[in-house]
A and B are shown apart, each in its own frame.
Chain A
Amino acid sequence: MDKRMTESEVIAELRDGMTIGIGGWGPRRKPMSLVREILRSDLKDLTVVAYGGPEVGLLAKYGKIKKLIYGFVSLDSIPLEPHFRIARQTASIPEIVELDEGMFQWGLYAASLRLPFLPTRAGLGSDVLKYNPDIKTVKSPYADAEELVAMPALNLDVALIHMNRGDAGGNGMALGPDPFFDDLFCGAAEKAYMSVEKLVETKELLEQGPIQCLKINRSMVQGVVEAPNGAHFTECPPDYFRDEAFQKKYAATAKDEQAWDDFKKTYLDVSEADYQKAVKAND
């Protein structure tokens, strides 16, 4: 099986109005080269589903998001994503679904198991239910008769994830300290596309790390993109840590239109290869 593709071939598979899940967590192991390709595309009216980091801020800044489903949108060292903050405070994203982090996971898990919902206590009594009247409760059919949140499946059209290693068939390895929920994003999606830091031969996979790192099997993935430094400026350990200086520069663009124009011109109006060159020039 050879599922190798380029970023542009992946993004050409997407359509306006699609529901797109983006793996990783905050500013950690995000498929940024794929996100940058979306920014360069004409795609619009997307529903974005993420434990959000800079990809949400960027997609919001570009006006690509019609509906945002999230547990948080953070840059870690900058607790609130600055472009997301502006998007919220100007109500520029038409539909907002803010969930408890655990409910979010449960929605992905339900979708990946082809269930309509999974029960949980998370959300009960909080305003998550007030602002999301579509989320219903369900009564336990057993003696306890407890009223629980029926967290609906978060079904995705497409999932985009980034792994440390992978093979051409779509087996993927997360070598860092946390695999996050990327396998659930893939499971919840009709189609999943995986970028990897480095493509290796299948027989070389176990030379890369322990078998427990093989979180993604090829049945979960329709396309593989080799994208060295593809998660930049988010972290992708052990390959690299977050580029804090770059992240600061990015964050500053939320307060200064000129800085944004410069940033966009240098890093976003260019090809991925030129992005990587421009990033390297900062070193």
Chain B
Amino acid sequence: MTDIQRDEYCAVAIAEAFRGDGEILISPIGNLPAIGARLARLSFEPGLMLSDGVSKLFGNTPGWGVKGAEKIIEGYVPYRTIFDIVWSGKRHVMMGATQIDKYGNQNIACIGDFKQPKSQLLGMRGAPGNTISHPTSYWVSKHSTRVFVEKVDVVSGVGYDRARELGSAAKYHEIRRVVTNLCVLDFETPDNRMRLRSLHPGVTVDQVVENTGFELVIPDDVPETRAPNAEELRLLREDIDPNGNGKKEVPTEA
């Protein structure tokens, strides 16, 4: 159980984003989010509820992309129920971000001018409603200045500066974490500007700064991202991601 890989640090960091969430629906969108969410549920957050992405809640925690894994169904959540849960607040989503700025405004709608985008992306999808209703985290598999930008072209997910302007209407707004292939970021600063929370082992502060298109809040001492313990490592390698889907998304740098 040595040679902990970068994707395994990412999985732990993602799992940690869900720590303390208790009995709510988590919606990890993407590959490593799905792995990290499963890790949280199988270790320190057993109350989390996980959907199959269509309309069922898993009563167990089937491995990610594991053919033939046993699937126990404990609940029914068609989209209408999902929307109810979103607005009820009993949910924590981890979305991707094509662009994100220093206050956590996220863009998954389009690049360029909205009227005639240079590149149409997914669209607003559920980002506006998610971010204003319940905790949101983000996963960025390639930390770069293309993603971490001074100003996003379109605001799909609402950031802290805009939430502040809304006053009490934004009382349920919270961006918990941004986890990337390099580090973990949060907004635990007086003005909710994005802060470097921890570095994955092998990554330097300079490397993060170089790949971020705005000024991050960087504490004097930046800790290392927590390593998985022996049981977590076993869960990841044997049960959750035996096919190495995490490694395909975030290879360990040579």
Q: B87 and A177: CB pair below 8 A?
A: no
Instruction: Give the distance in Å from the alpha carbon of A114 to the alpha carbon of B87 in the complex.
Output: 22
> CB distance B155 to A127 under 8 Å?
yes
The answer for the CA separation of A124 and B201 in the assembled complex, in Å, is 38
Is B116 within 8 A of A101, CB to CB? no
Evaluate contact between A121 and B80: CB separation under 8 angstroms. no
B79 in contact with A71 (CB, 8 Å) = no
B78 in contact (CB, < 8 A): yes
B-side interface residues, number (CB < 8 Å): 45
Q: In the complex the two chains form, is B54's CB within 8 Å of A122's CB? A: no
A89 engages B162 (CB within 8 Å) = no
**B143 partner residues in chain A, CB cutoff 8 A:** none
B124 to chain A, nearest CB (A): 5
**Cβ contact within 8 Å between B126 and A102:** yes
The docked-state distance in angstroms from the alpha carbon of A90 to that of B115 is 9
Q: Is the C-beta of A224 less than 8 angstroms from some C-beta in chain B?
A: no
Beta-carbon contacts under 8 Å, A3-35 to B: 25
Within the assembled complex, what's the spacing in Å between the Cα atoms of A96 and B133? 25
In the assembled complex, the Cα of A120 lies from the Cα of B129 at a distance in Å of: 9
Chain A residues near B123 (CB-CB < 8 A): 70-73, 98
Which residues in chain B, 58-99, are within 8 Å of chain A measured between CB atoms? 78-80, 83, 86-87
- B170: shortest Cβ distance to chain A, in Å? 7
Whether the pair B114, A126 counts as a contact (CB closer than 8 A) is: no
In this assembly, does B156 line the interface, its C-beta being within 8 Å of a C-beta of chain A? yes
Q: Given A146-B169, A148-B169, A128–B122 Cβ distance below 8 Å? A: no
Known contacts A72-B123, A127-B109; is-contact A89 B114 (Cβ 8 Å): no
Interface string of B114-138 (1 = CB under 8 A from A): 1111111111111111011100000
List of A residues within 8 angstroms of B83 by Cβ: 101-102, 105
B169:A121 contact, CB within 8 angstroms: yes
Q: What chain B residues lie within 8 Å of A85 (beta carbons)?
A: 120
The answer, yes or no, to whether A80 is at the interface (CB within 8 Å) is yes
Total count of chain A residues near the partner, CB < 8 A: 42
Residue B36 CB within 8 A of the other chain: no
Taking a contact as CB atoms under 8 Å apart, the answer to whether B79 and A103 are in contact is no
CB neighbours of A185 from chain B (8 A): none
Minimum CB–CB distance for B119 against chain A, Å: 7
Neighbour of A128 across the interface among B54, B56, B128, B172, CB < 8 A:
B128
Whether A261 is near chain B, meaning CB under 8 Å from some CB there, is no
Question: B116 and A90: CB pair below 8 A?
Answer: yes
A123 to B156, CA, bound (A): 9
Q: Hey, what's the 0/1 contact readout for B153-183 against A, CB within 8 Å counting as 1?
A: 0111110001101111110110000000000
Chain B residues with CB under 8 Å of A256's CB are: none
Q: Please tell me if A99 contacts chain B, counting CB pairs below 8 Å.
A: yes
Q: A residues within 8 A CB of B54?
A: 177-178
> Does B110 have its Cβ within 8 Å of any Cβ on chain A?
yes
CB distance from A237 to the nearest CB of B (A): 10
Say yes or no: is A238 at the interface (Cβ < 8 Å to chain B): no
A187 at interface by CB-CB < 8 Å:
no
> Is A179 on the interface with B (CB-CB < 8 A)?
yes
B129 near A101: Cβ-Cβ < 8 Å: yes
Are B156 and A126 neighbours in the complex by a CB distance under 8 Å?
Answer: yes
Q: Restricting to A79-125, which residues have a CB under 8 Å from any CB of B?
A: 79-80, 84-85, 88-91, 96, 98-103, 105, 120-125
Given contacts A91-B115, A105-B80, contact A74 B122 (CB under 8 A): yes
CB-based nearest A residue for B78: A178
Check if B118 sits within 8 Å of A147, measured CB to CB. no
> How distant is A100 from chain B, measured CB to nearest CB, in Å?
4
Contact of B55 with A by CB under 8 A: yes
Contact B87 A98 (CB under 8 A): no
Knowing A121-B132, A122-B87, A124-B170 touch, does A101 contact B126 (C-beta < 8 A)? Answer: yes
Pair A89/B78 contact, Cβ less than 8 Å: no
> Is the pair B79, A25 in contact by a Cβ cutoff of 8 Å?
yes
In contact, A101 and B125 (Cβ under 8 angstroms): yes
Q: With A72-B122, A72-B123 in contact, is A125–B166 under 8 Å at CB?
A: yes
Interface of A with B (CB < 8 Å)?
Answer: 25, 70-74, 79-80, 84-85, 88-91, 96, 98-103, 105, 120-128, 130-131, 144, 146-148, 177-181
9 pairs, A vs B, C-beta closer than 8 Å = A71-B124, A103-B128, A121-B172, A124-B166, A124-B169, A126-B127, A131-B114, A146-B169, A181-B80
Q: A25-B79, A96-B114, A178-B78 are in contact. List 13 more A-B contacts (CB 8 A).
A: A71-B126, A80-B122, A89-B116, A89-B120, A90-B116, A98-B124, A100-B125, A122-B128, A122-B132, A122-B133, A125-B165, A126-B124, A128-B128
Question: What are the nearest 9 A-B pairs in CB distance?
Answer: A122-B129, A126-B128, A125-B158, A91-B116, A88-B120, A125-B162, A100-B128, A102-B129, A178-B78
Q: B interface vs A, CB < 8 Å?
A: 54-56, 78-80, 83, 86-87, 109-110, 114-129, 131-133, 154-158, 162-163, 165-170, 172-173
